[in-house]
Structure 1
Amino acid sequence: MTVRQPKTEIQQAFDARMDRDKLLQCMRCGFCLPTCPTYITSGFKESHSPRGRIALMKAVADGEKEPDEDFYRSIELCLDCRSCEAVCPSGVAYGELIETAKQILIDHHKQSIKEKVIRAMTVRGLFPHPGRLNFVADFVSFYQSSGLQKLTHAMRIMNLFPASLKAMEAVVPDVHTYKQPVDAAKYQADLPPKKYKVAFFEGCLMGSMFKRTNSTSKILLELVGCEVVSPKQQICCGALSDHSGEKAMARDLARQNIAAFENLDVDFIVNNAGGCEAELIEYPRLLADDPDWLPRAQAFAAKVKDVTQILALVGLDQFHLALPEMTVTFQDSCHQQNVMKVAAEPRQLLRAIKGVHLVEMEARVSCCGSGGIYNMVEPDASGHILERKMAKVAAIPKVQRIITANPGCFMQMRLGVERAGLAGQVQVQSMTDFLLDAVNYTRYHH
């Protein structure tokens, strides 16, 4: 007869907080394995697969396994890209399970100094605070445009910093350019009658370091007949907090955003970043235990759309857009693909541009390794995933552009282009920036 030992504190937490029904949904069929980036890059280690992690969570919750360092690493290394959910025949809510597990680890497992510092600087100290983000954007703009960045690189000063910070410095876009909105006034004469009224969700990074891309998104929406409003009270969507286990902060941010948007008389709430919009439609899950906010979260989420959904719905292709002959590929945002279920619309818009040849990457539905702050806290694992992605890009003959739909993907793919030695050949561009380039080219060349 086996005498079961009393459960440790962390085992008790898993027992109390993990949803047993959802854990038991996994049939261990293995459909998830080929889609999981950490399973592949780990050398096909079962504990780094979705079904392996679910089995480990259940074993800890049942008291059959003590949560050792291998268990912690298995949970921490998960990107939460949700690719497994897209192919799971049983509909396992893996995202909810892994995020609950990460929250338990934050509450009960000692974090490394490195992770504490990164979390304090980003998830807690930076992204929820628009003023701080704008200050950082201004500082980075000065750093890049003043020659200080070139001097830093020439003196190899970045080699003195941790790999995570060095990687982050390398992927930051040309902020001086991207934080300057496009002049919308020159498009006013072309605006058609209004068909829809939409509220635009700015986002934290998009609203500070990528203001240009936000402005191109709004101009395109106006060009297809949308009245665009943007409430000032909105804040970070909470995705970074939610995916890294900071649930209380994510819920607070969700409530602030719902309150900022819910009294607007709009048809849609539109966003251009896959990670943000996927979080917005999951506010009902995030606030499921709050009866006062759940109906409000459901009403909010029902209106959330990706910008390409609206552009395809209203018909951007009516402009018969064109660009010089070029080959492009599209980098799906994991959460846009796997949570928002948006994949056809971006491709529809790209294929409608005369002169643009869209070539898909092999195994295109795979993560680039950005994962919010993942590329900072797990730079080695992120780097291996990025290498695999860039090999798929390099295999496309004469590819000139990588079109992205998320700021994290944009910066990660820029890093990949630099590391692969493709900087002079391949340009990374956000979806709406590329589409507005096509609008401008068509206006002046046809």
Structure 2
Amino acid sequence: MTTRTEQEAIQQQFRQRMDEDELLNCMRCGFCLPSCPTYIESGYKESHSPRGRIALMKAVVDGLIEPDEDVERSLDMCLGCRACEPVCPSGVKYGHLLEEARDIINQNKKHSLPVRAVRKAVFDGLFPHQNRMRTLTGLLGFYQRSGLQKAARRTGVLKLLPENLSTMEKVLPDVPRLAEMKNRPEHLPAKGDTKSRVAFFSGCLMDTMFLETNNATMKLLQIAGCEIVIPKEQACCGALHGHSGEKASARELAKRNIKAFEDLNVDYIITNAGGCGAFLVDYGHLLKDDPDWEERARDFSMKLKDVTEILAELEFHKKVKLELPHQVITYQDSCHLRNVMKTASAPRKLIQAIKGTEYREMKDADRCCGSAGIYNIVESEMSMQILDYKMKQAKETHAATIVTANPGCLLQMKLGIERENLAGQVRAVHIVDLLLEAAGETSSLQ
């Protein structure tokens, strides 16, 4: 519970920091309502809609209401999928308002000791340090390979966890060995003629837990004719920090990444995770109040491009024979890839080029799957409601393969497959892994 002193501090910060012009841009027209999963799944509760949340923010700024637990709950319930932005006739940057409001509340609210300890461990002690990410992921790999995982499943000890977490344990990828995570390339030549020189944003979780997907991404880029530079100095994108009320830390990570990439003389900076890409492309806004970094941030963001976009532009799907055994394939949009990076047609074009397969569009493919970073852990009930709807649409396509373009979406769809007892009948796969499979290539790099 927030104290009176905390509420006064929060209200003062809302008045000083919230963009009132952006708040006033919301015309309360309601075009955002059909696009908001939490509004729909809450039974059309206004406070769980983008329009309703903006009204709450404005009311706090105007002193009409106090920033109490109900306001905080409304903001916490938001997925941050930003599906409201493309349909807004006024172009309201709702995502920016949400991040600012969450940051103000977090920075002026005294968390309990356990919560402070967890936040410090995660946001300060883990994600900014790739060597620690590798160590932690290495421990997970040891758990998977040593027999501990089999023992935990056999004894039923995992049933002590909440249902979604025990199911999540089943769908985690096979983690690479620590030596593989440490031995990462810094430069890769193009296969054949060089068509573009690019830098690859390898990420934190992507270059540890999803290392094989990163390898597949770089292999596809090589085949498409890209010379690749992978700077070792790069860091976590900062999305988890920015979405969780830790914007100061997000800014520091942004500066590390800008510095790592800005002198590489590349055409593009390539990402393969929609969530990371959307935060990276927003660095210009994140650092807009820092005159030493704003222009550098915008230059960085201008070079951002999702891997599917460059593969489509370089006509990878025409250069390489893509073929798989007959199967129905559908695609689940990454919210941030579609709503922020504006990438929707390129993934579909690449998938539809795979011979022997049939592509079927999923109804509401652009609606959030409920993953949203750590939302499926901290807001499990709502997340599972949203996932159940998503799986209903996926099942109606009769697809054997559900394709995603973001690691969180991938795990969430695998979780949905387990919840629907479809394991062995349906698989979820990242698009680059599917394309590498269709090309008949391995992910070995050279």
TM-score normalised by L of structure 2:
0.92
Q: How many residues align?
A: 432
Aligned AA (2:370): G
Distance 1:441 1:205, change over 3 A: closer
CA distances 1:257-295 after superposition (whole Å, capped 9, x unpaired): 000010101111101010111111111000000111111
Determine the C-alpha separation between the residues in 1 that align with 2:189 and 2:256: 36
Query: What is the CA–CA distance in structure 1 between the aligned matches of 2:351 and 2:283, rounded to whole Å?
Result: 30
2:345 is aligned to 344
Whether 1:28 aligns to 2:16 is: no
* Paired residues for 1:255-404 under 5 Å: 255-318=255-318, 319-397=320-398, 399-404=399-404
Q: Which amino acid is the alignment partner of residue 315 of structure 1?
A: E
2:39–2:45 contact (8 Å) kept in structure 1 = yes
**Cα 1:123–1:387, aligned 2, differ >3 Å: closer, same or farther?**
farther
Distance in 2, matches of 1:9 and 1:281, equals 31
Q: Which residue of 2 is the match for residue 91 of structure 1?
A: 91
- What secondary structure does 1:350 align onto? helix
Contact between 2:138 and 2:177, CA under 8 Å: does it hold in 1?
no
CA contact 1:50–1:94 (8 Å) conserved in 2: yes
SS in 1 for 2:440: helix
**Pair 189,93 (structure 1): closer, same or farther in 2 beyond 3 Å:** closer
* Alpha-carbon shift at residue 320 of structure 1 (Å): 3.1
Residues 1:158 and 2:158 are matched in the alignment: yes
> What residue is the counterpart of 1:60 in the other structure?
60
Gap change, CA 1:164 and 1:248, over 3 Å in 2:
farther
| Distance in 1 between residues matched to 2:11 and 2:184, nearest whole Å | 56
1:120 CA displacement: 3.5
Secondary structure at the aligned position of 1:144 is classed as: helix
2:232 & 2:184 partners in 1: Cα distance?
Answer: 19
Distance 2:171 2:12 in 1: 41
Q: In the alignment, does 2:138 pair up with 1:138?
A: yes
Taking structure 1 as the reference length, what is the TM-score of the superposition? 0.92
Kept in 2: contact 1:179–1:212 (CA 8 A): no
1:179: Cα distance to partner? 9.7
- Structure 2 match to 1:213: 213
Q: Which runs of 5+ in 1 are unaligned?
A: 1-6
* Displacement after TM superposition at 1:229 (Å): 1.0
Q: Secondary structure at the match of 1:232?
A: coil
TM-fit CA distance, 1:106:
0.3
Supply the AA of the counterpart residue of 2:317.
D
- Offset of 1:154 from its aligned partner? 2.1
Partner of 1:428, secondary structure, is: strand
* Matching residue's letter, 2:34: P
Residue equivalent to 2:3 = none
In 1, the alpha carbon distance for the partners of 2:362 and 2:112 equals: 36
- Displacement of 1:151 in angstroms is 1.4
- How far apart are 1:389 and its partner, in Å? 1.0
- Aligned 8 A contact 2:189 2:222 in 1: no
Residue 126 of structure 2 aligns to a residue whose secondary structure is coil
- Is the CA contact 2:337–2:344 (under 8 Å) kept in the aligned structure 1? yes
Residue in 2 that maps onto 1:4: none
Report SS of the residue matched to 1:429.
strand
Structure 2 vs 1, CA of residues 347 and 254 (structure 1 numbering), >3 Å: closer, same or farther? same
**Retained in 2: the 8 A contact 1:137–1:179?**
no
Alpha carbons 1:115, 1:377 under 8 Å: kept: no
Pick closer, same or farther for the CA change 1:184–1:49 going to 2, 3 Å: closer
Contact 2:405–2:431 (Cα < 8 Å) also in 1: yes
Question: Where in structure 2 are the equivalents of 1:191-206 lying within 5 Å?
Answer: 191-206=191-206
SS of 2:326's equivalent in the other structure is: strand
Gaps of 5+ in 2: 1-6
Deviations 1:143-180 (A, max 9, x none): 11222112112222123345675465344222249996
Aligned match of 1:423: 423
- Residues 133 and 208 in structure 2, CA contact (< 8 A), matched pair in contact too: yes
Provide the alpha-carbon RMSD of the alignment.
2.4
Distance in 1 of aligned mates of 2:380 and 2:114: 12
